[in-house]
Structure 1
Amino acid sequence: MKTNNIYSALFGLSVGDALGVPVEFKDRSYFKRFPVKDMMEYGVHHQPKGTWSDDSSLTFCLAESLCKTYDINDIGQKFVKWRNEEIWTPHGKVFDIGISTNHAIHSIQKGIKPILAGGTSEMDNGNGSLMRILPLLFYIKDFNIEKRFDIIKDVSSITHAHMRSVLACFIYLEYGRNILNGKDKWKAYTKMQAEVNIFLNTNAVCSQKEMNIFHKILENKIGDYDVQVLYNLKESEIGSSGYVIDSLEASFWCVLNSKSFKETVLKAVNLGRDTDTTGAIAGGLAGLIYGFEAIPKDWINVLSRKEDISELCDKFSKKYKY
């Protein structure tokens, strides 16, 4: 198996996802007594060990579509096939799907263009586009920031079109891009902050209100760098619900407060509530930061459809010359 950043990102995401599936929805107090330390089986969704959720399914659908070309309609149709024909399911059955994502896929099936299918209200800011956006990084990485933003906006909007969800995806991928370009996790963060702030202040893409919602991520300080307060927050100040801001803040907090892939994803899952998604979002970044070899082999070995994931990584790598 020839591994690279694509392997690191996709396996990192799906491993983090699978760690969280058995304990999804459990409150943080539960994990103080029974912390997740390893892959588990059954639990909340009664699934075998190594089972990933819709987070990974839709991530793999996006990656598979990008193996051909960038086509927003094809991506939308892949999502429809996942829900209806159960492609890219871990065991041949969809067992978890978000309300907004389900509604958007239903709209696409009725003939609505994918770019218009996502919810646009303030209530449509679950983490359903953030959890699946990572493969887009490898397509947009060499474009200018304006084009990167426009493409991210379109792909998020398939299921989540509100600017808050779009900005969360944008910030996440801008950080990932800096990691991909060889920056360590701290310098990648400071660079992301600077570039995103400049972009938002010079392009009228959103209101000041929406920009302010990201203040924990885009302001203040970390260590010796001119960064922010997020790193220094206590665990009790970090949310872990399905709200996109909670998911983004929690994932960055776990990445910046950990020193290994394993520590990052276990910290993410043990925050509780939306455990699979926080694990997936943080796991994708941790994979990029620490590399495929840092992911525990016994976790990879029990991962559902790991051979299919490897084959997808090979196709994706060939397309984007990794």
Structure 2
Amino acid sequence: MLDKIQGALFGVAIGDALGATTEFMSKEEVIEEYGKVTEIIGGGVWGLKYGETTDDTAMTLAVVKGIMSNSNNPIEEIGKQFRHWENTDPIDIGISTRATFENYEDDWFHAAEKAHHQQGGLSAGNGTLMRCLPVSLAYSDLKKIDELSELQSKMTHFDDLAAEACVIYNRIAKRLLENENLHTAIHTEIKNTRYKSNYVEEPDCPPDGYVVHTMKWVLYWLLNCDSFEDVVVGATNMGGDSDTIAAIAGGLKGLEVGFKQLPLRYANTILIKKDLLDCAEKLNEIRNRDITK
């Protein structure tokens, strides 16, 4: 189980670090500039250091550390971690998340709703899907996973579409933790949802930050690539919101294959490797306590 949890967290970070190089570029621009990105090289729009990650990984770890602080009722602690991260002056904060931060006084859900209306009803971004995976890593009870997947989403993104994607994603993750086949897990959870498709063809939408588009591209890469490397490299070279799509897809694929099966040249490059390993250990402990309750 620890290997799977490590694989999931590193999968997010590797996808994030790899995809950040091509974020906001078109597929054609990626080809013109790099040919094909297959290594973590940094740079990109944020001028990242070699092995540096972005908000996708930072907010995922904020959720982890909130759960670590109070696994019975982590939402308030997750919020404290969000504010702590905001105070580090990060290089990037998503649009809906930033708007919620600006409106926050003492109620995350009210702040998210206010931000939603200020943005003309647009808060269905992928900023909660990118960070939700720790919920399914820490807990084994489906009701708890569903509840916390939705609540952590509603903290910054009022739109139900964001929460819906988090619930589906974490249900897939739960099945992988129970050693179910990835393709079977995906098709079981997307049945009778807006995401139902065989994904033989590329999605007919851009790989952008709208959560529905993001989720479709995540599912496409997961269902059409055999290896972890193919998943994250595929998402990276499409451009668009490539770091987030690669991080989200990488999280599930890393969970499926486990840490020991990840390319070492990727895992060893991540600057926050020790933090990820420590967080994985803590999540594993929390999960073991949850199972034995």
TM-score, with structure 1 as normaliser: 0.82
More moved, 147-156 vs 268-277: 147-156
- Correspondence for 2:172: 175
Q: 1:312 to 1:106 in 2, by over 3 A?
A: same
- Correspondence for 2:97: 101
Q: Would the aligned equivalents of 1:62 and 1:135 in 2 still touch at CA under 8 Å?
A: yes
Q: Distance in 2 between matches of 1:234 and 1:6?
A: 29
Q: Distance in 2 between matches of 1:132 and 1:10?
A: 10
Q: 1:175 to 1:3 in 2, by over 3 A?
A: closer
Match of 1:163 among 149, 160, 164: 160
- Correspondence for 2:208: 241
Cα distance, 1:148 vs structure 2: 3.6
Q: Distance in 2 between matches of 1:117 and 1:152?
A: 18
Q: Would the aligned equivalents of 1:12 and 1:287 in 2 still touch at CA under 8 Å?
A: yes
- Correspondence for 1:53: 54
- Correspondence for 2:226: 259
Q: Distance in 1 between matches of 2:40 and 2:232?
A: 11
1:81 and 2:77 correspond: no
Q: Distance in 2 between matches of 1:31 and 1:22?
A: 9
SS in 1 for 2:25: coil
> 1:163-242 counterparts in 2 under 5 A?
163-194=160-191, 197=192, 214=194, 217-218=195-196, 228-229=197-198, 231-234=199-202, 237-242=204-209
Cα distance, 1:32 vs structure 2: 3.5
Q: Distance in 2 between matches of 1:320 and 1:27?
A: 40
> 1:60-139 counterparts in 2 under 5 A?
60-68=61-69, 69=71, 70-84=73-87, 86=88, 93-108=89-104, 110-111=105-106, 113-119=107-113, 120=116, 122-139=121-138
The residue type paired with residue 61 of structure 2 is F
SS in 2 for 1:37: coil
The answer for unaligned runs of 5 or more in structure 2 is: none
Cα distance, 1:311 vs structure 2: 1.4
Q: Would the aligned equivalents of 1:72 and 1:115 in 2 still touch at CA under 8 Å?
A: no
Q: Distance in 1 between matches of 2:182 and 2:205?
A: 20
Match of 2:246 among 279, 284, 290: 279
Q: Distance in 2 between matches of 1:114 and 1:31?
A: 38
Q: 1:248 to 1:262 in 2, by over 3 A?
A: same
Q: For each residue in 1:67-122, what CA deviation from the matched residue of structure 2 results, as whole angstroms up to 9, or x when unmatched? A: 132321111111011001x2xxxxxx5101111101212333x22x1233324454
- Correspondence for 2:16: 17
- Correspondence for 1:41: 42
Q: For each residue in 1:40-67, what CA deviation from the matched residue of structure 2 results, as whole angstroms up to 9, or x when unmatched? A: 1323211111111001000001001111
Q: Distance in 1 between matches of 2:190 and 2:210?
A: 21
- How many matched pairs? 280
SS in 2 for 1:43: coil
More moved, 117-126 vs 181-190: 117-126
Structure 1 stretches (4+) deviating beyond 6 angstroms? none
Q: Would the aligned equivalents of 1:63 and 1:135 in 2 still touch at CA under 8 Å?
A: yes
Q: Would the aligned equivalents of 1:64 and 1:316 in 2 still touch at CA under 8 Å?
A: no
Q: Distance in 1 between matches of 2:38 and 2:137?
A: 31
Cα distance, 1:238 vs structure 2: 4.7
Q: How much identity, in percent, do the aligned residues show?
A: 29
Q: For each residue in 1:239-279, what CA deviation from the matched residue of structure 2 results, as whole angstroms up to 9, or x when unmatched? A: 21011111111011001000000001001111111111011
Cα distance, 1:6 vs structure 2: 1.3
Q: Would the aligned equivalents of 1:21 and 1:53 in 2 still touch at CA under 8 Å?
A: yes
Q: Distance in 2 between matches of 1:313 and 1:176?
A: 15
Cα distance, 1:306 vs structure 2: 0.9
Q: Would the aligned equivalents of 1:153 and 1:161 in 2 still touch at CA under 8 Å?
A: no
Q: Would the aligned equivalents of 2:231 and 2:249 in 1 still touch at CA under 8 Å?
A: yes
Q: Distance in 1 between matches of 2:285 and 2:244?
A: 28
TM-score, with structure 2 as normaliser: 0.89
Q: Distance in 1 between matches of 2:148 and 2:40?
A: 35
